[in-house]
Amino acid sequence: MDSLDAAAMDAPAIINALGPLVSGAAYEAAPSVDFATIYVPADRLVATCAALRDTPSLRFNVLAEVTAADYFPRDPRFEVVYHLLSVPNRLRLRLKVRASETLAVPTVQGIWPSAGWLEREVWDMFGIVFDGHPDLRRLLMPEDWEGHPQRKDYPVQIRKAAQTYEPLEVSEEEFKANLVRDRVKRDAH
């Protein structure tokens, strides 16, 4: 294993390897100081990820991280960043997909299950929609939070009024009706 050279696959080499596997995808190599970085068109993302995971010379079996960066006011403003890791080949790779408030990105949860919460966090923080994600809810912020805090146009210091809820008020008739309803439901089991 020590004979493997971690820098053996740069971005053009990976694009060449992907070329015959994914049809009609226009990849773009991006400059980087650490490891290969590739821009992937959103509509080819899932096919690309499947090829990256399953091709023996690549075998990116771990999705280490999904995050995003907001380049407001550039258009499209977001870049979703995927950090992949190939344990068998000792390789790292960064995929980037351009996105905006209206430009969604397909989910890669079918390729790596770890994408579930990572994509949920990106939606929570940036408001980037992941198409096909089964559970796109708030993760770190409270369920009733408004806005997406990691956006650059989101203010740093805001004040939110404390939320209060009225105590639940049920009349005697409603209470009895509920009891009957529950009993019917239970007996129906």
Partner 1 sequence: MAELRTETMTVNMGPQHPSTHGVLRLVLELDGEVIQSTNPTIGYLHTGIEKTAEQKKWQQVIPLVERMDYLAAQSNSLSYALCVEKLLGLEMPPRVKDIRVLIAELQRLASHLIWLGTHSMEIGAVSMLFYAIRERELLMNINELMAGFRFFPSYIRIGGLREDLPRGFHDAVNAFLERFPAKIDEYEGLLTRNDIFLRRTTGVGVVTQDDALAWGLLGPIARAAGSDYDVRRYFPYSGYETYDFNVPTAKEGDVFARYRVRMQEMRESVRICKQAIARITPTGAWACDDTRVVPPPKDKVYTEMEALIQHFLIYSQGFTVPAGEAYVPVEGPRGEHGTYIVSDGTNRPWRVKMRAPSFMAIQALPKLVQGGLIADVVAVIGSNDVVMGDCDR
Query: Which stretches of the chain bind partner 1, using CB under 8 A?
Result: 6, 31-35, 37, 61-65, 67, 69-70, 81, 83, 85, 87, 90, 92, 94, 112-114, 116-117, 121, 138-142, 149-150, 156, 189
Residue number with CB closer to partner 1 (37 or 48): 37
Residue number with CB closer to partner 1 (17 or 85): 85
**Least distance from C-beta 118 to partner 1, angstroms?**
8
Contact between 106 and 45 (Cβ < 8 Å): yes
Chain centre distance of CA 98: 13
Helix, strand, or coil (residue 85): strand
**Least distance from C-beta 76 to partner 1, angstroms?**
16
**Least distance from C-beta 175 to partner 1, angstroms?**
22
Residue number with CB closer to partner 1 (61 or 100): 61
Residue number with CB closer to partner 1 (23 or 163): 163
**Least distance from C-beta 7 to partner 1, angstroms?**
11
Neighbours of 52 (CB within 10 A): 27
Q: Per-residue DSSP letters for 89-148? A: TTEEEEEEEEE-SS--EE--TTT-TTHHHHHHHHHHHH---EET-TT---SSS-TT--S-
Short-list 3, 29, 2, 1, CA closest to 15: 29
**Least distance from C-beta 21 to partner 1, angstroms?**
20
**Least distance from C-beta 23 to partner 1, angstroms?**
26
Q: What are phi and psi of 167, to 5 degrees?
A: -65, 150
Residue number with CB closer to partner 1 (73 or 142): 142
Exposed/middle/buried for 11, CB within 10 Å: 0-12, 13-18, 19+? buried
Residue number with CB closer to partner 1 (43 or 57): 57
Distance of alpha carbon 78 from alpha carbon 101, whole angstroms: 8
